[in-house]
Each structure stands twice: as structure tokens, then as C-alpha cells.
């Protein structure tokens, strides 16, 4: 195996594949390596930690510009961290790579020469990157909206693995993404032009990772089978295991009838929450919300350092007086995810989950459970 390749293209591909390689020592040492494979399509680089596998391919040419030349097909495994550091620190336009006797990768660039121990490619575990099951095409914008407006609400705790997932469900021409950690919920819906029916629990952190890698891609294809999700875009394929189990039934969480409605400027509210939250030290980000027709007051207090309150003047409120306490981080995250100028709050009562939404967009719903402070 040998080739000469544009350094920037190699480094970009290594960085993509490396996202699937655990920085901590793996139970499977061979997964500390990247798989290099040169065939008729170009140079494919694969990284995996079993939970996540990323394969990205560098073509021989791009926009009629030669990227790989003087090549001979073959494959090998090289240490992911070492090859990444080499490609990052080399400052020449091209890098030469040649495998000698299946055990040494000779890497040269300008005056520098590395002899890097390598491993035969057949020692790498088999990874299934074939698309199977149901398939759906999404634009980059659609996928990013699904992730950015839901992933933050998924649980970070492994005690209930199912809650670390985003549930993707298709039914009646609508794709619904739902995330919850049991204290809050985020739901985003997209119309789709197919009558597909499925439900899959994709790890939220993997969805976020894929969204980061989509830069420059216009669209992606999502393939969902019984145990894995496959995401294909540009020259990259990403596979992740699904989380087994039945996702909690959240369909009836959204209140059908509410007794209070508030519309307020999102930026004004976020700034006020942030300012008073400084004094919520001993209540774990809990702030109090008082609403009536004349004023909105946000306050926080600490037995150690004091209290703070701020009034917001520009708002619309319907209903009688209401006082409610909530986790400021949960509410702030929900507001930011909506990415709207104004936000609407719909309340049932002091201790009932409440809705936060964009008044001009019914496709996204955020729900937060109040905090009992007495």
C-alpha cells in the first residue's frame, strides 16, 4: 500500500474518523487504531469504539483537482493519536505514505520521515456499515433543528439508558423527535413526504456528534434497522447502536387545557433569569416566577448571601395571579432552543408541568416541571 496525498485532506479525514475513537484505553486495544484502506473509490479511514463507527472517504480527485497520486491499493491499521499528531504538525502540502512488509508505515513529508509501527488490517473488527431497514432523507437544516431543539433535554445519567436517547418516531407523514430526562421534555416535529412508520432510540450524544460533522453537507440519509442507525452524507458514513427498550409514553404530557398564558421577549427574559440566578446558590438554580396582569417578577434567594428580584415590563399575560418556581437552567435551555424573538408560556397551575413554545411555530414544544420550594 502506498500513496501521496494532500496533507489538508488527510488531516480533515483523520479528524472526522478520530471522533469515534475513545481517548481512554479501550477494552479492545486494536480500536485505538484507525483503519486505512485504499481501493477504487479512494482512501477510506475508519474509526470505531463499537458504540459509534465513522468511515470517511477521500476521493482521488475533487473538483478536478488531484488529491491522491502515485498509489497502490492496500490496507493497514495505524495508531489514531500518533497519525493525527503527525498530520497536524507536518507543514508540507503533501504527505507520502507507504507500508513496508505489512508492519511499518513509512511517512515522509519534506525533510521529516517517520517509521510508524502498523498492524494488518484484518485484525480490525468487522463493522457493519450497510444501510438496512427504513430509510429517510433529511436536509442539513432539518436534521440540525431536530438535534438542537431536543438533545439538550436528554438525560446525562446512565441509570436509565433509555432517557439518554432521542426517540425518533414516524407516523402519518410526521417525523417526531422527543427527548426527556423526566424533569423536562423537548419535542420537534417535521413533515415528511413518506408514510413510513417506525420508532428508534438514538443516543442523543451521537446525534449531536453527527450534527457537528454535517458542516458543508446539504443533506443526509438516515437508515434505521432493529439495532443500529446509519447516517450517510457527502463521503462519510456513521453507524451508532440504538438504545434498546421502549421509550416512555410522552404523548399525553402536553396539557390540553391551560389556565394562564404569558408572552414575553425571549432575550429580556433570559437576561433577567441570568441576573437573578446569581443568588440561587443554595437552591440549585431555582428561581421564583410571579405573574399577574400588571407585572412579571423573577426572584432568587440564598440564606447565605441574600436575594435578588427583577421586574419585566413588556409582556402579555392572561389569567389570575400565579407564583411558580423552576430550574433556571431548564427554562433557559428551552428558550434558547426555540431561537425565537418572543416565547409563550402556558401554565396549568403552580405544580403542573408548563409549556414553553415559539408563538409563531407549533412544531416545537418544550415542557418543564416546576420545583416545589416549600
Nine-digit cell string for 232:
450517510
pLDDT of residue 158: 81
> DSSP string of 173-193?
TEEEEEEE-SSEEEEEEEE-S
pLDDT of residue 119: 96
- CA 174 to CA 187: how far, in whole Å? 12
Let me know if the fold of 2-123 is the same as that of 134-241.
yes
pLDDT of residue 231: 97
CATH of domain 134-241: 3.10.150.10
Domain boundaries, the chain: 2-123, 134-241, 260-368
- CA 333 to CA 315: how far, in whole Å? 20
pLDDT of residue 50: 84
2-123 belongs to CATH 3.10.150.10 = yes
- CA 318 to CA 10: how far, in whole Å? 59
Q: Do residues 284 and 327 touch, judged by C-beta distance below 8 A?
A: yes
pLDDT of residue 56: 98
CATH superfamily of 260-368: DNA Polymerase III, subunit A, domain 2 (3.10.150.10)
pLDDT of residue 285: 87
Per-residue pLDDT 10s for the chain (374 aa) are: 999 999 999 999 999 999 999 865 467 899 999 999 999 999 999 999 988 999 999 999 999 999 999 999 999 999 999 999 999 999 999 999 999 999 999 999 999 999 999 999 999 999 889 999 999 999 999 999 999 999 999 999 888 999 999 999 999 999 999 999 999 999 999 999 888 899 999 999 999 999 999 988 999 999 999 999 999 999 999 999 999 999 999 988 889 999 999 999 999 999 999 999 998 876 778 999 999 988 899 999 888 889 999 999 899 999 999 999 999 999 999 999 999 999 999 999 989 999 999 999 999 999 999 998 76
Amino acid at each position: 500500500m502506498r500513496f501521496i496525498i494532500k496533507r489538508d485532506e488527510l488531516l480533515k479525514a483523520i479528524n472526522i474518523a478520530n471522533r469515534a475513537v475513545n481517548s481512554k484505553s479501550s477494552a479492545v486495544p486494536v480500536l485505538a487504531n484507525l483503519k486505512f484502506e485504499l481501493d477504487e473509490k479512494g482512501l477510506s479511514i475508519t474509526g470505531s469504539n463499537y458504540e459509534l463507527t465513522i468511515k470517511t472517504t477521500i476521493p482521488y480527485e475533487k473538483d478536478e483537482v488531484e488529491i491522491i497520486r502515485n498509489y497502490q491499493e492496500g490496507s493497514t491499521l495505524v495508531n489514531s493519536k500518533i497519525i493525527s499528531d503527525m498530520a497536524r504538525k507536518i507543514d508540507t502540502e503533501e504527505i507520502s505514505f507507504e507500508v513496508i512488509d505489512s508492519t511499518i508505515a513509512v511517512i515522509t513529508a519534506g525533510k521529516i520521515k517517520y517509521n510508524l509501527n502498523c498492524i494488518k488490517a484484518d485484525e480490525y473488527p468487522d463493522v457493519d456499515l450497510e444501510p438496512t431497514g427504513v430509510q429517510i432523507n433529511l436536509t442539513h437544516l432539518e436534521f440540525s433543528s431536530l438535534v438542537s431543539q431536543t438533545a439538550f433535554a436528554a438525560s446525562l445519567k446512565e441509570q436509565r439508558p433509555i432517557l439518554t436517547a432521542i426517540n425518533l418516531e414516524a407516523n402519518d407523514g410526521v417525523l417526531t423527535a422527543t427527548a426527556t430526562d423526566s424533569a423536562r421534555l423537548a419535542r420537534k416535529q417535521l413533515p415528511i413526504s413518506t408514510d413510513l412508520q417506525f420508532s428508534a432510540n438514538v443516543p442523543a450524544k451521537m446525534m449531536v456528534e453527527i450534527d457537528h460533522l454535517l458542516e458543508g453537507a446539504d443533506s443526509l440519509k438516515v437508515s434505521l434497522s432493529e439495532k443500529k442507525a446509519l447516517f450517510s452524507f457527502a463521503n462519510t458514513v456513521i453507524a451508532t447502536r440504538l438504545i434498546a427498550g421502549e421509550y416512555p409514553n410522552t404523548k399525553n404530557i402536553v396539557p390540553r387545557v391551560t389556565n394562564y398564558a404569558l408572552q414575553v421577549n425571549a432575550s429580556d427574559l433570559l437576561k433577567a433569569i441570568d441576573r437573578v440566578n446569581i443568588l440561587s446558590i443554595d437552591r440549585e438554580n431555582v428561581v421564583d416566577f410571579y405573574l399577574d396582569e400588571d407585572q412579571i417578577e423573577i426572584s432568587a434567594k440564598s440564606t447565605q448571601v441574600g436575594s435578588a428580584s427583577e421586574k419585566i415590563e413588556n409582556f402579555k399575560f392572561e389569567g389570575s395571579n400565579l407564583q411558580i418556581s423552576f430550574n433556571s437552567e431548564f427554562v433557559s435551555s428551552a428558550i434558547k432552543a426555540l431561537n425565537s424573538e418572543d416565547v409563550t408560556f402556558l401554565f396549568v397551575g403552580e405544580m403542573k408541568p408548563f409549556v414553553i413554545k415559539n408563538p409563531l411555530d407549533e412544531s416545537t414544544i418544550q415542557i418543564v416541571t416546576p420545583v416545589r420550594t416549600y
